[in-house]
A and B are shown apart, each in its own frame.
Chain A
């Protein structure tokens, strides 16, 4: 176990190995490792971002759904109101129409009645006159007593 020239040989071998490792082994391997680490980190960050985006989109969709539902119920309410309004309006209109028709009918009836009354009155007057004429045919001068008869007719 003595120190000899082997030492020098090993020293040179050591130096050569370290230099080779420094030049041709270490840089490419550590470079690949670091690049891959960077890539993985980027990928993880991107996936985190995507997850975040997905969550936001889901929330947005949920919100939109809620909004749409609310809007739909508003529309339905409005429609219902409108329906009631239309029905009411129609009812009012119908009522008015009815009353108009009724009033018209009444007016017609009234007019008819008045006309009938007039007719009746005239006929009664004529009848009365005819009756009276027959009764008084011989005694009463038609012309002389027509004023009395007219008075009668007016009173009927």
Chain B
């Protein structure tokens, strides 16, 4: 859909730029925030509708679908995490469905949402070239880092809660080499390992979705051949979308269960 007056570079840049408000650090990506909260609300309201009427009798079809997801998350959590914790399962459900819904926005044709936004912006008197709308929140590093940071905070919280500050520091310093003169080295290793967990969570999700989005944009510039190529890439991406949501969820559960374990 690259119109003649736009160069390829402009087209790509336009698609990869967020609708930003504010200056410096206090910039806010309105599109990322809006779409992610919109998706989160879709998740919460659709599931809440079931939760309100949930009973042990014959379920409705929508209840069956929701219960399948809940059951899936529940069995996944139970197979990985053996302690008792009322947070982990709802957390995993939230992450899975929310990330899945946000990733699914990637399957909306790449031009559809930005183009619609431009039309609305133009109608409201803005220059269409200045209207940015990057719909998929998980292609914004702020989104994925926020998720990973939330998980990281919980990891630290449960590590300290389960083992005490002393136990947590001990865990960071006394392994793998259990000799006092190597504690400083252990500490460096463990801190790197600890920080690698949320960082890998955030970057894996971001990288996969950003790359997928970028390839959709590149395919969109190939003219007539883009239709079969879009189809092939969308089918492939259809695997990536739930897979990434699931990987983020299961790794969250694994990291949190590691935080509960005593070494």
| Chain A residues close to B by CB (< 8 Å) | 1-11, 13-15, 17-18, 20-22, 24-33, 35-36, 38-39
The residues of A that contact B59 with a CB separation of less than 8 Å are: 32, 36
The minimal Cβ–Cβ distance linking A23 to chain B, given in whole angstroms, is 8
Let me know if B44 and A6 touch, CB within 8 A.
Answer: no
The residue from B25, B43, B55, B89 contacting A5, defined by CB atoms under 8 A apart = B25
The minimal Cβ–Cβ distance linking A12 to chain B, given in whole angstroms, is 9
| Chain B residues close to A by CB (< 8 Å) | 16, 18, 22, 24-29, 32-33, 36-37, 40, 43-44, 47-48, 50-52, 54-57, 59, 66-67, 70-71, 74, 86-87, 89-91, 93-94, 98, 137, 140-143, 145-147, 149-150
Let me know if B25 and A26 touch, CB within 8 A.
Answer: no
Task: Please report the C-alpha to C-alpha distance between residue A25 and residue B50 in the assembled complex, in whole angstroms.
Answer: 8
The minimal Cβ–Cβ distance linking A101 to chain B, given in whole angstroms, is 92
Let me know if A10 and B146 touch, CB within 8 A.
Answer: yes
Let me know if B50 and A29 touch, CB within 8 A.
Answer: yes
**Across the two chains, which residue of chain A brings its CB closest to B32?**
A6
The residues of B that contact A29 with a CB separation of less than 8 Å are: 47, 50-51, 54, 66-67, 70
The residue from A3, A4, A26 contacting B70, defined by CB atoms under 8 A apart = A26
The minimal Cβ–Cβ distance linking B208 to chain A, given in whole angstroms, is 15
Let me know if B94 and A18 touch, CB within 8 A.
Answer: yes
The residues of B that contact A39 with a CB separation of less than 8 Å are: 56
**Across the two chains, which residue of chain B brings its CB closest to A15?**
B150
30 contacts between A and B (CB under 8 A): A1-B16, A4-B26, A4-B27, A5-B25, A6-B27, A6-B142, A6-B146, A8-B146, A10-B33, A10-B137, A10-B142, A10-B146, A11-B146, A11-B150, A13-B36, A14-B147, A17-B94, A18-B90, A18-B91, A21-B90, A22-B87, A24-B48, A25-B47, A25-B48, A25-B93, A29-B50, A29-B51, A29-B66, A30-B89, A31-B54
The residue from A2, A9, A28, A35 contacting B52, defined by CB atoms under 8 A apart = A28
Let me know if A25 and B90 touch, CB within 8 A.
Answer: yes
